[in-house]
Amino acid sequence: MTFNPTSKSDRVIIVDFNHMAHNFSYSGVRLSRTMKVGGVVQTVDTTIANGTIKNIFNWSKGGKYPTVVCFDRPCPSRKAYFQKEQPSGVDGEYKGKRESMGSSMYEGVSLSQDLLERGGVRCLYAHNWEADDLVFLAIQKAKEQYPNHYIDLITNDADMLPLVDEQVSVFFRSKKFTWAEIKDLEKNRYIQVTTSNFQEVVEGLSSFKNLYVPYNTLLLYKVLRGDSADGIVSPFPKGTMSPRRLASLVWEMRNGKLKEGYSLLFPKGSNVPFGVKELSTKDEYAFSDESDALYIDENAFELDKDGLPITVDIQNLFVYTPTVKKYINSNTGQELTLSEAKDLGKAGGAKVIYKDNPLVDKMVETLVYYGLTKEEAQIFKTQYRGMNLAQPFPDLPDQIKRGSLKLPDIFGFNGRDLNSVVSVLNINLNSRYL
């Protein structure tokens, strides 16, 4: 679907809440309100609620923009999946390094959620669904409801950077910088990540230092290299997915597959290719820009029927994918429509099954063509399923398995209603939007 924005002012706001809670919880400034609760005088810590709600209110222009706030919940299904596939992950388990939420932060998050909901702000949360999963679903929903609106996702989680596209910007938390394409979009200490600055931002992150990560290859790197921040180790033997092997893989997919007898040139100490070398003659062809790669030596590339290097639309290939949901008659194996499945019912044999998005097989096929072994590509597929957002996990015990989740519509809210709810806690919202 082509994105045809009508105005820069038409926007949808999607908030990854928990990172904001952490920011305000550790800010060093504490706010509170003493009041009667059920006839008992209590002091309520309003630090997290005050900071987060004010920001959400401002970002949404007082509720003018459709807004949704996503909250984290434990995800035993993804943890169980990785325990099965990677029993010796970082610290032994998925997200094993993460600190559990302290009581004060838990209370602050719960209070914020309650106030936002009572003020009419759409909040998303569900057991066995992480905020990342809900953000992905919310973006799909927003694209469906508002196909011509820009979508602003606010987070500090690099796992969400692969969601950047023509329509979606990620406002990524920064300790030092504030930047957006236009002044009115700036959010203090956030950098707006777009397709244009994606590579610059990602390669500036400590976990991707000295790597070659053009737009939109971050998810590919995470699947092949693992993600130590989440306790996900690389599923490949140590040294198998070296930075230069990955750089060569990405470069060839973007620019053309090199024939045998040719290899990429790398500067000493760098993983960014600068040219091509013919191994037999030792001739070197440097390039200043990837766009002139073809003019290095036509003989260096595998060519298609039109005489052009074979490339891949990598920007739209290694992305998060919605899983395909189908209904079958478990007695006959026959595929059913939704209405047929309802008529048959579970007792009659109607069953929900989930299949990989066709794009996943395309990923595997592409990786094999550009140099991974079939075994390595299948390992990639297994790893991808664990890291794919909103991935169903139906083959787990009943108490932890996960299917699909349908989201409600996303709308704006009445800023005065929210102000009325939070004012009792001395949370004063921006009068500009009231």
Q: What is the pLDDT of residues 27-67, one digit of tens each?
A: 778 888 987 667 788 898 999 999 999 999 999 999 999 99
Give the residue-averaged pLDDT of 358-372: 96
Residues contacting residue 361 through CB under 8 Å, at least 6 positions apart: none
pLDDT tens string 372-419: 999 999 999 999 999 999 999 999 999 999 999 999 999 999 999 999
Q: What angle do CA 40, 44, 45 make, to 5 degrees?
A: 165
The domain limits of the chain are 11-228+405-433, 324-355
| Angstrom distance (rounded) from CA 135 to CA 141 | 10
Q: What is the DSSP letter of 325?
A: E
Q: For residue 110, what is the enclosing H or E element? A: helix 103-118
Strands (E), 311-359: 324-329, 335-336, 350-355
pLDDT tens string 234-280: 889 888 999 999 999 999 999 899 999 999 999 998 898 988 888 98
Give me the CATH code for the 11-228+405-433 domain, please. 3.40.50.1010
- Token code pair at residue 47: 């630090």
- Token code pair at residue 271: 């993983």
Residue 290 pLDDT > 70: no
pLDDT tens string 161-215: 999 999 999 999 998 899 999 999 999 999 999 999 999 999 999 889 889 999 9
| Angstrom distance (rounded) from CA 10 to CA 64 | 10
- Token code pair at residue 189: 């200490």
Tell me what the pLDDT averaged over the chain comes to: 91
- Residue 50's closest CA among 70, 71, 20, 18? 20
Query: Residue 143: what pLDDT?
Result: 97
Residue 287 pLDDT > 90: no
N residues, the chain: 434
HEC string for the chain = CCCCCCCCCCEEEEEEHHHHHHHHHCCCCCCEEEEEECCEEEEEECHHHHHHHHHHHHHCCCCCCCEEEECCCCCHHHHHHHHHHCCCCHHHCCCCCCCCCCHHHHHHHHHHHHHHHHCCCEEECECCECHHHHHHHHHHHHHHHCCCCEEEEEECCHHHHHHCCCCEEEEEECCCCCECCCHHHCCCCEEEECCCCHHHHHHCCHHHCCCCCCCCCHHHHHHHHEEHHHCEECCCCCCCCCHHHHHHHHHHHHHCCECCCEEEECCCCCCCCCEEEECCCCCEEECCCHHHHHHCCHHHECECCCCCECCCCHHHCCCCCCCEEEEEECCCCCEECHHHHHHHCCCCCEEEEEECCHHHHHHHHHHHHCCCCHHHHHHHHHHHHHHCCCCCECCCCCCCCECCCCCCCCCCCCHHHHHHHHHHHCCCCCHHHC
H-only helix segments in 281-369: 338-344, 358-369
Query: Residue 296: what pLDDT?
Result: 63
Give residue 294's pLDDT band: very low, low, confident or very high (50, 70, 90).
very low
Query: Residue 98: what pLDDT?
Result: 55
CA distances from 276 to 242, 243, 293, 366 (A): 19, 17, 9, 22
Q: What is the DSSP letter of 150?
A: E
pLDDT tens string 71-112: 999 999 999 999 888 766 555 556 655 556 678 889 999 999
Residue position matching structure tokens 């349908």: 406
Query: Residue 370: what pLDDT?
Result: 95
| 422: number of Cβ within 10 Å | 22
Is the whole model's pTM more than 0.85, yes or no? yes
Q: For residue 124, what is the enclosing H or E element? A: strand 122-124
Query: Residue 147: what pLDDT?
Result: 96
Residue 2 pLDDT > 50: yes
Give the residue-averaged pLDDT of 429-433: 95
